[in-house]
């Protein structure tokens, strides 16, 4: 892995992790174009940039990480349980789903769902829940079940949770914010598991490329979270739906 590869993948991870466009899907495609193989160095790199994204959430929402917010985090953990359980039980089956074709199809399906939700389920002017601390346990659980679909490559963890949140009455901004916080336990568990599983890989990895990837992924993720929320103050998710469909179609054309 070169420094160029590290910067490129760091930007992609930071920019796509919290947007409803599938970071995993983009990283799979980018790795194909860059000609990167799954080896010890790339595995260590994936752990590092995931940790950078986690840190970006922590810094952006440091006021939420206090004992006073225990009620909110109880709901976040409740929403985490479905994906944690399904991901653990069916981990081997999920690994077999990783392919460009599946990623492309799920991009398209996800894009269509976003357009349908925006067209038929969201009525501007209708009162929605704007404060994530007021979310109910029932709403949190439904969002958690929606997140399970993100185990299919190309679906997008952010995308599935945002769709679930929109359908249970959260505003666009609140849907994104709850998705950010829900990413914390999900990514912490995944990164922790990967770190334990691949800790030996760090001994043979290039610390310079790992460090650059971490810094790039962190700053891009940090800025993306802020810009995404600002975007949702004025716009809808339609642009993301269209992007997903176009990107998915291009993947099918290029790799067919």
In this structure, what is the dihedral angle of CA atoms 84, 241, 246, 105, given to the nearest 10 degrees?
A: 40
Residue 26 contacts residue 10 (beta carbons within 8 Å): no
Round to whole Å and give the CA distance between 177 and 165: 10
Give tens-digit pLDDT for 222-240: 999 999 999 999 999 999 9
Eight-state DSSP code of residue 212: H
Could you report the per-residue pLDDT of 29-81, keeping only the tens digit for each?
A: 888 888 887 777 777 788 889 899 999 999 999 999 999 999 999 999 999 99
The pLDDT of residue 126 is: 67
Least confident of 86-90, 100-104, 190-194: 190-194
Cβ atoms of 88 and 148 closer than 8 Å: no
pLDDT 10s digits, 99-147? 889 999 999 999 999 999 999 888 766 668 899 999 999 999 999 999 9
- Please, which residues bridge with residue 170 across strands? 129
């Amino acid at each position: 892995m070169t420094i160029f590869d590290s910067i490129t993948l760091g930007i992609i991870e930071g920019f796509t992790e919290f947007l409803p466009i599938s970071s995993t899907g983009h990283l799979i495609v980018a790795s194909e174009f860059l000609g990167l193989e799954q080896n010890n160095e790339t595995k260590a790199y994936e752990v590092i940039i995931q940790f950078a994204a986690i840190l970006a959430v922590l810094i952006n929402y440091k006021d939420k990480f206090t004992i006073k917010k225990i009620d909110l985090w109880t709901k976040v953990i409740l929403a985490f349980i479905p994906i944690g359980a399904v991901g653990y039980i069916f981990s081997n089956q999920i690994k077999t789903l990783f392919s460009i074709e599946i990623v492309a199809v799920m991009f398209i399906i996800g894009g269509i769902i976003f357009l349908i939700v925006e067209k038929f389920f969201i009525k501007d002017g209708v009162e929605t829940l704007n404060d994530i601390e007021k979310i109910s346990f029932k709403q949190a659980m439904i969002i958690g079940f929606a997140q399970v679909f993100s185990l299919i490559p190309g679906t997008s963890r952010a995308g599935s949770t945002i769709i679930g949140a929109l359908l249970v009455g959260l505003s666009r901004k609140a849907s994104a914010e709850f998705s950010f916080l829900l990413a914390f336990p999900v990514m912490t568990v995944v990164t922790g598991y990967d770190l334990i599983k691949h800790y030996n890989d760090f001994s043979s990895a290039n610390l310079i490329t790992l460090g650059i990837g971490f810094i790039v992924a962190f700053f891009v993720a940090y800025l993306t979270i802020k810009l995404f929320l600002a975007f949702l103050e004025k716009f809808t998710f339609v642009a993301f739906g269209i992007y997903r469909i176009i990107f998915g179609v291009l993947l099918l054309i290029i790799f067919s």
